[in-house]
Amino acid sequence: MPRRKRQVIQRPNRRIAPVGTISDEIRSNLERVRYVGSPHHKSRPADYGFDPPVSPRGSKSLCDDIRPITLREAVKLFRAGIRLGMVSKSLKNGLPAFVWAVDDAGEAYEAIGDGPNYHGYRLKYDAANHAAVISEWNERSRGL
């Protein structure tokens, strides 16, 4: 019996906030967030300083499954996502639950936070919001 393709449904909390809809309060709150990473989303320790260095979990997507991602690059992508307003409409503790970015190779990443600290992972090609993140990133980046 042939395997059925996994059906993915975009969850409402993973929708990108439309341009111009992020309040001044949320923008102010975004100034205090930081990308810290997680050893659960790494197969290579790079320069994150985790102890133990990596602890990938089978149920977690990896940010570095294609290539190593340094902390500096991850922070740069995270900040670019915030600058372009690539944040979720849904909030946790007054902050967007998700931030998205796309690297120079066209790989999409999703960062999740539950306070001022965020960690991220590469979006799989079959993720429900993968195409939307790439498309929106390209559209918003065009104006820079």
**Domain for residue 55, yes or no?**
no
Q: What separation in angstroms does the CA of 22 have from each of 28, 44, 62, 96, 126?
A: 10, 35, 29, 9, 28
**Domain for residue 125, yes or no?**
yes
89: Cβ contacts below 8 Å, ≥ 6 apart? 12, 13, 15, 16, 17, 21, 96
Q: For residue 109, what are the β-bridge partners?
A: 101, 122
Q: What is the pTM of this model?
A: 0.84
Range of the domain at 72: 19-38+66-141
**Domain for residue 9, yes or no?**
no
**Domain for residue 60, yes or no?**
no
List, for residues 65-99, the tens digit of each pLDDT value.
888 889 999 999 999 999 999 999 999 988 999 99
**Domain for residue 58, yes or no?**
no
Q: How confident is the model at residue 6 (pLDDT cuts 50, 70, 90)?
A: very low
List, for residues 11-21, the tens digit of each pLDDT value.
656 889 999 99
Q: Are 110 and 13 in contact (CB under 8 A)?
A: no
**Domain for residue 8, yes or no?**
no
Maximal CA-CA distance, the chain = 54
Q: What is the DSSP letter of 16?
A: B
What proportions of the chain, in percent to the nearest 5, are helix, strand and coil?
A: 25, 20, 55
Q: Are 56 and 45 in contact (CB under 8 A)?
A: no
**Domain for residue 5, yes or no?**
no
**Domain for residue 105, yes or no?**
yes
The domain total for the chain is: 1
Q: CA-CA distance, 137 to 81, in Å (whole number)?
A: 8
Q: Regarding predicted confidence, which is higher, 39 or 77?
A: 77
Hey, how many other C-beta atoms are within 10 angstroms of the C-beta on 3?
5
